[in-house]
Structure 1
Amino acid sequence: MKAIREARGISLQQLAKDIGRNPGYLSRVERDQQGAGDRTLHLYAERLNVPITAITHKETP
């Protein structure tokens, strides 16, 4: 999630403001320290203009 956001040139603070979420919360979600609700994930993907699967897919090592 973070890599996509950064590739789009959007700061965590700006994203949080745009989707109405707390930046600390989004930071924890991006670091996989906290889960996110469906609505938050959809807002996140919509703001970054990516399909929801782009931010919910887990890479395998």
Structure 2
Amino acid sequence: MKAIREARGISLRQLAKDIGRDVGFLSRVEDDKQGAGDETLRRYAAYLRVPIRAITHKETSRDQERPGSPHREHPH
């Protein structure tokens, strides 16, 4: 989460303000010291314009099979 936010040049303070969450709370979430609910994750991902799986690191088998994925098996 933090790496994507920082790569986009967005401060934690600005993100917290824009998605209506406490900066301390988001800091703990980014540092894996506290969990976040679905609504917070949706707002965070939407603000960064990424799928939720990009910030939660959860992939399904379907995600791994999408075209261009390094996990996709190529037919011979």
Category of TM-score, reference length = shorter chain: over 0.9
Q: Structure 2: which 5+ runs fail to align?
A: 59-76
Percent of matched pairs sharing the same residue: 78
The TM-score with structure 2 as length reference comes to 0.75
- Structure 1: stretches of 5+ with no match in the other structure: none
RMSD: 0.8
- After TM superposition, the score normalised by the length of structure 1 is 0.93
Aligned match of 1:25: 25
CA distance in 1: counterparts of 2:49 and 2:9, whole angstroms: 13
Matches within 5 A, 1:1-61: 1-57=1-57
Higher helix share: 1
Give structure 1 regions of 4+ aligned residues with deviation exceeding 6 angstroms: none
